[in-house]
Copies of this chain bind each other. A is one copy, B any other.
């Protein structure tokens, strides 16, 4: 048995947390995991691959990396209103570093246990650092939220705040400085995003469409518009921002919010008649949501400022570490 098989054993041991095996008949240890879908449920599946230097900095705390690797996948389940059930982890590592692995597993399993999702399989191999997670979740048939359901007249909402993760990246790049406390806050947004799993499920039957904001609000919301064959007007100054981002110059804070990326908030649409129900659902899961616009028949996305005046929409979407 090689070193990398021992790593696999490490994850096998670590995953024995109580209460995270709903729908899981058999986890790690055979050629496949065995899942037992309940009658009337659909299963939702998403995969994300994270590469060092592109999706995370080589200096990131492994505890936070373990958290984030799963968080970005849970965010996809959240956007589809699915309850997390099971995930696989494939991991390529340049060398066996026990301290790194212990931290990574700690962050990964802390978030997994919080959301009741079981590690059911995967792979470990030697190679340039690469993390690939596939998540599986459950939703009653027909209850999943998709990008294609937005209707003319719907309100547009976003959860939490936008732009902090990108603000942190700009600090890492040396493009601006923040005080220690402010930096820690936005760095946490970048390294420890909280997937909106409870909100996604709370929006079943209320929202008409949803997507998670990973590449920037404008780009991701654009997917909803295209898939739903509608347009929209958004109020750029209505975007929810942290106090740290609010202290930045107007043009910069607008850009961070509209096109920052790595936010892992949900942008979603819901009929006007559901306003009270949406507000109540959001309160019930302790997740702030903000109304930022309206779905319209005219194709394309129109931005207005706080005074209602049209704005330039040529913000580039966040393309990981490329830009």
Contacts and interface: CB of A to CB of B under 8 A. Distances in A.
Given A42-B36, A125-B55, A146-B26, A31 B132 contact: no
B90 A319 contact: no
Contacts of A322: 2, 126
A147 interface: yes
B29 A42 contact: no
Interface residues of A, number: 63
A25 B120 CA distance: 23
A130 B49 CA distance: 10
Interface in A28-84: 29-37, 39, 41-49, 51-55, 76-77, 79-80, 82
9 contacts: A30-B227, A31-B79, A31-B80, A31-B211, A32-B80, A33-B46, A37-B43, A47-B121, A49-B123
B130 A92 contact: yes
B227 A146 contact: no
Copies in the complex: 2
B49 A32 contact: no
A90 B47 contact: yes
Interface centre among A32, A37, A130 (most CB of B within 10 A): A32
A18 interface: no
B123 A48 contact: yes
A136 B79 CA distance: 22
B51 A127 contact: yes
Given A80-B30, A127-B130, A146-B26, A91 B49 contact: yes
A62 to B, nearest CB: 18
Contacts of A239: none
Contacts of A208: none
Nearest to A90: B49
A144 interface: yes
B44 A34 contact: yes
Interface in A138-179: 141, 144, 146-148
A260 interface: no
A282 to B, nearest CB: 19
A134 interface: yes
B37 A41 contact: yes
Contacts of A296: none
A308 interface: no
